[in-house]
Structure formats: C-alpha cells, structure tokens
C-alpha cells in the first residue's frame, strides 16, 4: 500500500508540475503577444517637414546664376529657370530591369554612387524630385525658393543618376522639405528616402513598359514598341497636356461606367480609381454603392482624409470589377473634376505607355 500511495502522490505532483508549467507558458506567450500588440499599437508613420536645409552641414547654397541652371525670374508662386543641357545615355536601345513586387513602379537606382529606390511616377509633372533625406545624405547643392502653393522647395544639382543601363547626367532636379518616417515607442526606426522619376523625364523616352506579372520594367530611347501579336493588345488614346502652371500631365481617354472620360494616368498611385468629390458627385448615379467608409491616406504632401466607396460593379475600359473600391478626396487636393486611374487597375497584366504613338497598350488576359 505504501508503494501505491507513493506512486499516486508522485503522479499527482508530476501532474501539478505540468499544469503549473502550462499555466506559466500560457501566461508567457499571452504576455508576449500582448507586448507585441502594445509595441505594434505604438507604431506610427508620420509626415515630417524640415524648416529649411540651408543650415545643414555640408549643403552648399547655389546662386541664381550657376553652372547648372540660371534663374530668370522668381516670384512667390512662380520661378522661371533655364537649365544647362543634360544628357541621357543607354548602352542598348532599350533597358529591361526588375521592379519591386508592389503596386507602384518601384525600381532601384544609383544617385551619386549611392543606391535608392525610385518611383516611376507619371503623376509627377516635373523631371526628377528628391526629398530632404536625399539632400542630407549626398550633401547636394541647392537653390531654395518660396512658393505658397507648391510642394517643391527649390532646385538642386544631381551630378548623375543611373538606372540599369541608363545614365542621366545633370538632370533637371527639384527637392522637397519633407519625408515620411516610422516611429515605434516614440523612436524613429525608418525614414523614407524618396526619388521620383517624373513625367518630364518619362516623356523623353519612346515608351515605358510595366509588366506587373513578371514583374519588370522596360523603357526605350530609340526603339519603337511592337505590340505582338497585335490581337492580344487593347489600346487607348492618351495625351500629354500642359496645366495652367505650365507643367505636364498624362491623360488617358477611356470609358468609366459607360461614359467617355479623360482621366489622369498615374503610375505613382496605388489605387485603381480615385477622384475628387466633384467628379464623384457627377458619376455616383452610375454605381450601385455597397458601403462607404472614412480613411486617411499618404499623399506626396502629407496625410489626407479620404473616403473609400465600395461599388457592386466597376467597369473601366474593357475590364469589369466586382466589389471594387473607389477613392474620393477633397477638391482642394488636386482641383475639381479630377479623376485618376492608378496602377491597381493594371495589377495582373502588362501596360505600355507609348509616347511615340500617344497610345496606352494593355495586354489582354487569357480569359478575355
């Protein structure tokens, strides 16, 4: 009996020990998850604006007449400048390279021998734009100007930028005084170093091919785009137009909900379709709205309030989407009647911006 009692007591003690261990482990993992959740909840992406870069160590201020550009006239909301000649060289007639597997057209480049991600952004009307972090990293020479209605803060000198086999020497370049950064528990963990390859530069090429399946990007200075076999491609007319401020915008002529629309084609926007409140007011009757929610989104000039409207059916060109989202923003952001077609519309196919023929080519899906 005594052996049996000892065995029972030992078994009970072992079971209690196991139970205690399980409780401790559960408490540990629950606490760890709670800790991770607490840390995660403190993560914030904030928009930071520098007051100026003139006092930044190593950054030199250019005068109005320097070897890279000459400022002809400077007013509070207008700066006229004549740039020195830049050059674009490619080892081959066209260049094809990998892009990040993301909605935007992100590729890698070397600026003054340092690597940075670049966004091919047809919604950016100028040539090249760098943010304040790029200026600080490279101690770039700058020419600041004041503008009450522009996100740009001045001009800067970039000796060269290399993208694959492409080299651009002394490109026309502007800079901003802002960037996004991630903060965890109040400490900065990441700062965005952003370069925009804008429509001003894109327009110097014959075509840009964006393959979201591979994913790759191809562009050419000399070769024409060949839509082969031609029956596998749809095409839409496009135009490069100038705004009242003498900047460029890329427009695509396409049907939206059965109506002929001229919309901005923006490779720097993730969404499928976005528009101003005024434009939505005109088109809303053509959609069966399922739900509407308020949100905030990152724009070039900071966080802005938006509305996400889910519609039962969204037809753009020859593509029809179910339960699709339309983003609506305030008229004050880009103006009234502003409509954007972004890269999410082309997420499962190939799109070619053909500047030589003024056409946008879209590869048909196998199910079409």
Do 275 and 195 have their domain in common?
Answer: no
The pLDDT confidence band at residue 7, using thresholds 50, 70 and 90, is low
Q: Is residue 368 pLDDT above 70, yes or no?
A: no
Q: Is 356 helix (H, G, I), strand (E, B) or coil?
A: coil
Do 189 and 247 have their domain in common?
Answer: no
Average pLDDT estimate for 15-31: 55
Look at residues 234, 235, 266, 236 and name the one whose alpha carbon lies nearest to residue 250. 266
Q: Is 230 helix (H, G, I), strand (E, B) or coil?
A: helix
Q: What CATH number should be reported for the domain holding residue 277?
A: 2.40.70.10
Do 189 and 333 have their domain in common?
Answer: no
Which class for 28: exposed (0-12), middle (13-18), buried (19 or more C-beta within 10 A)?
A: exposed
pLDDT at position 122 is 97
CB 127 within 8 A of CB 198: yes
Q: Is residue 206 pLDDT above 80, yes or no?
A: yes
Residue with tokens 């502003």: 338
Write the CB contacts of 10 (distance below 8 Å, at least 6 apart in sequence). none
Decide if 349 is inside a domain. Answer: yes
Do 135 and 244 have their domain in common?
Answer: no
pLDDT at position 11 is 56
Decide if 139 is inside a domain. Answer: yes
Do 173 and 297 have their domain in common?
Answer: no
Decide if 42 is inside a domain. Answer: no
Do 251 and 287 have their domain in common?
Answer: yes
Token duo for residue 83:
């740039």
pLDDT digits (tens, 9 = 90+) for 42-84: 589 999 998 889 989 999 999 999 999 999 988 877 888 999 9
pLDDT at position 25 is 59
CB 217 within 8 A of CB 96: yes
Cα–chain center distance at 251: 18
Instruction: Tell me the pTM.
Output: 0.86
Domain boundary, last residue among 202, 232, 248: 202
Decide if 21 is inside a domain. Answer: no
Q: Is residue 5 pLDDT above 60, yes or no?
A: no
Do 184 and 260 have their domain in common?
Answer: no
The pLDDT confidence band at residue 12, using thresholds 50, 70 and 90, is low
Do 117 and 231 have their domain in common?
Answer: no
Decide if 72 is inside a domain. Answer: yes
Do 185 and 301 have their domain in common?
Answer: no
Decide if 214 is inside a domain. Answer: no
Choose the most confident range, by mean pLDDT, from 19-33, 145-159, 291-305.
291-305
Domain boundary, last residue among 167, 202, 237: 202
Q: Is residue 23 pLDDT above 60, yes or no?
A: no
pLDDT digits (tens, 9 = 90+) for 250-274: 999 999 999 999 999 999 999 999 9
Structural domains of the chain, count: 2
Average pLDDT estimate for 155-179: 95
Domain boundaries, position 189: 47-202
Write the CB contacts of 53 (distance below 8 Å, at least 6 apart in sequence). 59, 132, 135, 136, 142, 144, 153, 175, 177
pLDDT digits (tens, 9 = 90+) for 78-115: 888 999 999 999 988 889 999 998 889 999 999 988 99
Q: Please give the mean pLDDT across all residues of the chain.
A: 88
Do 188 and 228 have their domain in common?
Answer: no
Q: Indicate the Cα dihedral angle 347, 315, 351, 151, nearest 10°.
A: -80
Decide if 63 is inside a domain. Answer: yes
Do 51 and 198 have their domain in common?
Answer: yes
Q: What percent of the chain has pLDDT over 70?
A: 87
The pLDDT confidence band at residue 367, using thresholds 50, 70 and 90, is very low
Do 245 and 292 have their domain in common?
Answer: yes
Domain boundary, last residue among 153, 171, 202: 202
Average pLDDT estimate for 325-344: 95
Choose the most confident range, by mean pLDDT, from 12-21, 47-56, 107-116, 286-295.
286-295
| Cα-based distances in Å from 157 to 57, 95, 160, 215 | 16, 25, 9, 32
Q: What CATH number should be reported for the domain holding residue 82?
A: 2.40.70
pLDDT digits (tens, 9 = 90+) for 188-205: 999 999 999 999 999 999
Look at residues 88, 242, 265, 73 and name the one whose alpha carbon lies nearest to residue 172. 88
Decide if 207 is inside a domain. Answer: no
- Which residue did the predictor score with more confidence, 17 or 326? 326
């Amino acid at each position: 009996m005594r052996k049996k009692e000892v065995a029972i007591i030992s078994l009970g003690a072992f079971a209690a020990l196991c139970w205690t261990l399980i409780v401790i482990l559960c408490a540990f993992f629950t606490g760890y998850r709670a800790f991770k959740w607490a840390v995660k909840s403190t993560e914030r992406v904030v928009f930071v604006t520098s007051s100026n870069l003139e006092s930044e160590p190593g950054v030199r201020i250019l005068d109005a007449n320097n070897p890279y550009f000459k400022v002809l006239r400077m007013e509070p909301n207008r700066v006229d400048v004549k740039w020195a000649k830049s050059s674009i060289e490619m080892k081959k007639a066209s260049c094809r390279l990998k892009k990040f597997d993301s909605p935007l057209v992100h590729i890698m480049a070397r600026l003054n021998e340092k690597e940075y991600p670049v966004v091919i952004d047809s919604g950016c009307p100028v040539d090249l734009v760098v943010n304040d972090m790029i200026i600080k990293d490279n101690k770039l020479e700058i020419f600041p100007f004041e503008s009450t209605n522009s996100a740009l803060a001045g001009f800067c000198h970039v000796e060269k930028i290399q993208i694959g086999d492409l080299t651009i020497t002394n490109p026309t370049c502007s800079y901003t005084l802002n960037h996004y950064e991630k903060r965890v528990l109040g400490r900065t963990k990441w700062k965005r170093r952003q370069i925009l390859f804008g429509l001003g530069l894109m327009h110097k090429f014959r075509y840009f091919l964006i393959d979201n399946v591979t994913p790759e990007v191809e562009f050419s200075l000399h070769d024409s785009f060949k839509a082969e076999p031609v029956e596998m491609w749809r095409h839409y007319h496009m135009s490069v137009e100038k705004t009242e401020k003498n900047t460029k915008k890329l427009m695509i002529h396409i049907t939206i909900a059965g109506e002929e629309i001229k919309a901005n084609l923006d490779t720097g926007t993730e969404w499928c379709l976005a528009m101003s409140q005024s434009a939505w007011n005109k088109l809303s009757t053509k959609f069966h709205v399922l739900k509407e929610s308020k949100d905030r989104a990152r724009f070039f000039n900071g966080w802005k309030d938006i509305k996400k409207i889910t519609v039962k059916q969204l037809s753009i060109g020859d593509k029809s989407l179910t339960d699709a989202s339309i983003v609506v923003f305030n008229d004050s952001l880009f103006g009234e009647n502003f409509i954007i077609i972004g890269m999410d519309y082309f997420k499962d196919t190939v799109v070619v911006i053909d500047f030589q023929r003024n056409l946008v080519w879209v590869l048909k899906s196998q199910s079409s």
